[in-house]
A and B are shown apart, each in its own frame.
Chain A
Amino acid sequence: MEAVALRGLTKSYGDKRAVNGLDLDVPVGSFFGLVGPNGAGKSTTLRMATGLLRPDAGTATVCGLDVWADPIAAKAQVGVLTEDLRLFDRLSAEELLSYNGLLRSMPRDVIKQRSGELLEVLGLDDDRGTFVIDFSQGMRKKIALACALLHAPKVLFLDEPFESVDPISSRTIRTVLEQYTEAGGTVVFSSHVMETVERLCDHIGIIHAGRLVAEGATAKLLKGQRLEDVFFRVVGASPDDDASLSWLGTSPR
C-alpha cells in the first residue's frame, strides 16, 4: 500500500487550471520531494492531499484512507506544515502544542510529555512560554513542525519547510525529519531548493503546469545528473533564457 496516492487531482481557479489531472504515488517510508516552478501547482496539490482544499475532481488517499470521503480518519494520519506559517501566534509555544493536541483529542499527559520532548529537540525549550508571534521565522518553522509531529502522524506534508530558515534551524529540521523517516514515517515536501531535495529525498516528483511530468527514485530519475539540469530539461526552460533586457544595469533616466 502507498502512503499517499493521488488520482486525477484537478483544481481550477476561474479559467486557470492550477492542477490538471495529477497522479502521484508516494511509497511508505519514503522522503518524497516535490519540485516545480512557481505556480506549477505544488502547494495546491499538497492542500488537496491534506484536506484543506476540495478538489474539483480526483481522489486523494493517505494510508488507504480517502481524505475527502473519510476526512476524520485520514487527517489523523497526517501532519501538515503550510508555507505561509499562519498559526495562532498569540498563544505561547506550549499553549499552541497543547491546542493542537487537544484538537485531536490526545490525552493531556501525552501532550505534555511529547510537547516537552519536541521543544527540547527543536531547541525551543527556553521559549516554551513565549508567544509565537514573537518568534523568528526559523523558530516559527520549528514550532509548526512540532505541531505537525505531535500526534505522531504516519505522513508529513511540508510546504517549503526550508525556505527563509537559517542554516542552524535548517539542520535541526533536517535531522528531525530524517529521524522520522528512519522510524517509518513518510515525508512529502515541496521545495524550490534543488540541492536540498537532491540531498534529502529518495524519491522526487517534478510538477509543471499542474501535471506530474517526471517522478521516480532519486538515483533512477537523475541518472548521475544534477537535479537542476534534469529539472530544466523536463520543464522545458533554459537557465540562459535571459537574452533580452540588455538595458538592465544602465543608469535610470
Chain B
Amino acid sequence: MARHLAALKFALLRGGLRRGGRGSVIALVITLIGAVFGGGALALSLLSMRTILPSTACDIAAVVFALLAAGWAFGPVLALASDSTIDIDRLALFPLTARQLMPGLLLSAVIGVGGVFSIIVLLGAFLGMSATGPSAVVALVAVVLELVLCLSLSRWVSTSLSVAASKRRWRDVALFAGPVLALAINLGVQAANRAVFVNDRANHQLRTHSRPLAIARHVVRWLPTGWSTVAVHAARTGNYALAFLGLFATATFALGLTALWWRAIQRATTTTVSPGAPHRGGRSALIPRFVGWLPHNALGAIAAKELRYTWREPRRRAALLGLLFAGVLPLLVFRSLAASNPRTCFIAVWPALNIGMNANAFGFDGDRLWVDVAAGVSVADELRARTLARVIGAVPVVLVLVAALAALARSAAGVVPALGAVAAAVGMGFAFAAILSVRTPFPMADAARGNAFGGAGTGQNASAGFAALGAVVVSGLVVAPLILVSTKLPLTSPLQTVLAAIGVGIGVVAWRIGLAVATSRDRADGAELLARLTRA
C-alpha cells in the first residue's frame, strides 16, 4: 500500500506540473535546487558540530529540530495553496485500515521539496551529533523519529484545520486561527531575538551566540522535538538508560501525533461540512457604509465584494493580519532607531512593497469569475476594482505605520518624503500584481471543503512566489533612488516635497503601465482569464 500511495503522489505531482505549465516546472526545479543547496548548507553547518562540545552540538540540533517541526506545522498554513499531499477524501471509500494507510500517507507526505530539504538537514544533524558506536545508532534512530514527528505534526495540523469541525463556521475560525497562531509565534521569536540583541548590546558583551544557546539549553531541548537530542547526548556520555528513555518518549510522541492525525482523518472522511447555524448578516447593502462613496456600478460592486471577502473569507482575513504584522514588525525592530531619526519613516516602504504585491488577485475567486464575465465586466475594470479595494483595505496600515514612526521620532519632517516613496512602492506593486494576476493566475482551494491549503497545480504557488519576489526586488530598485536622494537632502528642503510628488507620479504611472500591459494580450471580455482560472 505504501508503494501505491507513493506512486500516486508522484503521479499527482506530474499531473499538477502538466496543469501548471512550464512556469510551474521551472519554479519547482528552482525550489528543489534551493532546497538542496539550503538544506545542504545547513547540513554542512550541522556537520561542523562534530568539532564542538557534544552538549552544545545537541543543543544546536534541538533548535534546528524545533524550527524544522515549526516549518512543517505552519508552512502549509502560511503559504496557501502549497500543500500538495494526497487528499484523504479520495481514499474514504476504500476498505483500508489505519495500519495499511498511515505508512503510505507518511511516505507520500515526505515526497516533495519539504521532504528533500528535511532529509538533507536531518542527515547533517545525524552526522554532526553522532560519534561512533552505539551513539551513532541512537542518532540515526533520533533523526528518523524526528522526520516522522515532523510529518505527523504537519499532517495533523493541516487535516485538523481543514476539518476543524463539521460546522462551516468553526472551520472558518480554525482556518483563521492557524495563521494567527503562526504569526504570533513569529512575533514572539522576533521579540525574543530583539530582547537578546538589546540586552547583549547593553552589557557590551559578545553574547549574541551564547545567549540563544542558553535559551535553547533550558527550553528548546525539553520540547518534544528536543527529546531525541537529549537521547543522543546521553548515549555519548554512556547514559544508555536516559538515551532509551529519550528515544522512547520521542517515538511515543510521534505515535501520539500519528494517532491524532488518524482521528482527524476519520473525522474528515466520516463527517460532512455542514453550515450549522446559518450566518445571518441581516438586511445589509452590498457596499459597506464606511465606503458609501463607492460608485454604484461594476467598479464599486467588485470593490465592495472584495472588501467584504477580506473579512469574511478566513484565509483572506489571515492575510490581512499578515499585512498588519508586516506593519507592526518594523515598529518593534526599529523602535530605538526611530526614536532618534525621523528618516526611519522610510521603513514603511517595505510593507508598502508587499501591500501592492497581490500576485494572484483572482485566485480566491477562481472560476466564480464567470459571474462577472457573464455580466460583461472588462478585465481592466476587474483590476481597477481590486486595486481600489486594496487601497481602501490595506494602504491605511502603511499610513498608520508612517504616522507611528514619525510619532516615535517626535518629528513629522520625514513623513512627506516617506509618503512619496510609499506611493511609488505601492504603485509599482499594483502594476506587477496586475500583470501577474492576469498572465499567471491560479485558483486557490475552496475554504469550505477538502484541503483548504491545497493548490491547483504543483509548483504554481512557488512560481507565483518567485514572480512576486522578483517584482518586489524590481520595485525596490525603482524606489531606492528616491530614498537615496532624499537622504542626501535636509529634511526641511523644499526639494523633499518635489521628490514626494515624483514618488506619487512614479506610482500612478507605474500602475497605469501595469494595467495596460496586463490587459494588452487578451481581449477585454475576460474569457481568456476565466479559461486560465478554470483550466488551472
A residues sitting closer than 8 Å to B (CB atoms) are: 50-54, 68, 71-72, 75-76, 78, 80, 82, 84, 86-92, 94-95, 98-100, 102-105, 108, 127-131, 133-134, 147
Contact = CB atoms under 8 A, between A and B. Distances in A.
Given A102-B286, A129-B282, 20 more contacts: A52-B530, A53-B530, A54-B531, A68-B525, A78-B374, A88-B365, A88-B368, A92-B281, A95-B284, A95-B286, A98-B301, A99-B286, A102-B297, A103-B301, A103-B371, A129-B280, A131-B278, A131-B281, A133-B275, A147-B371
A102 B298 contact: yes
Nearest to A108: B296
Contact of B376 (A71, A98, A102): A71
A94 B374 contact: no
B93 interface: no
Contacts of B283: 94, 128-129
Interface stretch (B7-15, B137-145, B216-224, B307-315): B307-315
B528 interface: yes
B101 interface: no
24 contacts: A51-B374, A51-B525, A52-B374, A52-B527, A71-B376, A72-B376, A75-B375, A76-B376, A78-B374, A80-B370, A86-B366, A88-B309, A90-B313, A91-B286, A98-B286, A98-B301, A99-B286, A102-B297, A102-B298, A129-B280, A131-B312, A133-B168, A134-B168, A134-B278
B312 A90 contact: yes
A250 B286 CA distance: 57
A92 B74 CA distance: 32
A17 B82 CA distance: 33
Contact of A130 (B280, B366, B376, B528): B280
Contacts of A100: 371, 375
Interface of B: 168, 275, 278-286, 296-298, 300-302, 304-305, 308-309, 312-313, 365-368, 370-377, 448, 523, 525, 527-528, 530-531
Contacts of A53: 527, 530-531
9 tightest Cβ-Cβ pairs between the two chains A and B: A102-B301, A134-B278, A134-B275, A103-B375, A75-B376, A98-B286, A90-B312, A54-B527, A95-B286
A103 B298 contact: yes
B373 A51 contact: yes
Contacts, number: 114
Contacts of B280: 92, 129-130
B370 A52 contact: yes
Contacts of A89: 448
A102 B284 CA distance: 15
Contacts of B372: 103
Contacts of B309: 88, 90
Nearest to B316: A90
A99 B370 CA distance: 13
A134 B172 CA distance: 13
Contacts of B296: 102, 105, 108
Contacts of B373: 51-52
A82 B308 CA distance: 24
A78 B304 CA distance: 24
B457 to A, nearest CB: 16
A80 B305 CA distance: 20
Contacts of A129: 280-284
A88 B370 CA distance: 10
Contacts of A133: 168, 275, 279, 448
A98 B374 contact: no
B377 A103 contact: yes
B294 to A, nearest CB: 10
A129 B275 CA distance: 15
Nearest to A102: B301
A205 to B, nearest CB: 22
Nearest to B369: A86
A98 B301 CA distance: 8
A100 B523 CA distance: 22
B215 to A, nearest CB: 43
B532 to A, nearest CB: 12
Contacts of A54: 523, 527-528, 531
A94 B285 CA distance: 8
B201 to A, nearest CB: 48
A97 B379 CA distance: 21
Contacts of A52: 370, 373-374, 527, 530
A87 B448 CA distance: 13
Contacts of A76: 376
Contact of B285 (A84, A86, A90, A98): A98
Nearest to B276: A134
B374 A50 contact: yes
Contacts of A95: 281, 284-286, 308
Given A51-B374, A78-B374, A133-B168, A88 B530 contact: no
Nearest to B285: A98
B368 A86 contact: yes
A52 B526 CA distance: 8
Contacts of B376: 51, 71-72, 75-76, 104
Nearest to B376: A75
A33 B300 CA distance: 37
A52 B531 CA distance: 8
Contacts of B525: 51, 68, 71
Contact of B305 (A84, A91, A127): A91
Contacts of A84: 367
B176 to A, nearest CB: 13
A160 to B, nearest CB: 15
A94 B370 CA distance: 19
A105 B297 contact: yes
A100 B280 CA distance: 20
Nearest to B312: A90
A94 B284 contact: yes
Nearest to A71: B525
A104 B305 CA distance: 15
A227 B280 CA distance: 44
A178 to B, nearest CB: 23
Nearest to A98: B286
Nearest to A151: B375
Contacts of A51: 373-374, 376, 525, 527
Contact of A104 (B281, B375, B531): B375
A37 B201 CA distance: 76
A88 B371 contact: yes
Nearest to B280: A129
B449 to A, nearest CB: 10
B305 A88 contact: yes
Nearest to B313: A90
A100 B377 CA distance: 11
A54 B372 CA distance: 15
A101 to B, nearest CB: 8
A156 B282 CA distance: 30
Contacts of A92: 280-281, 284
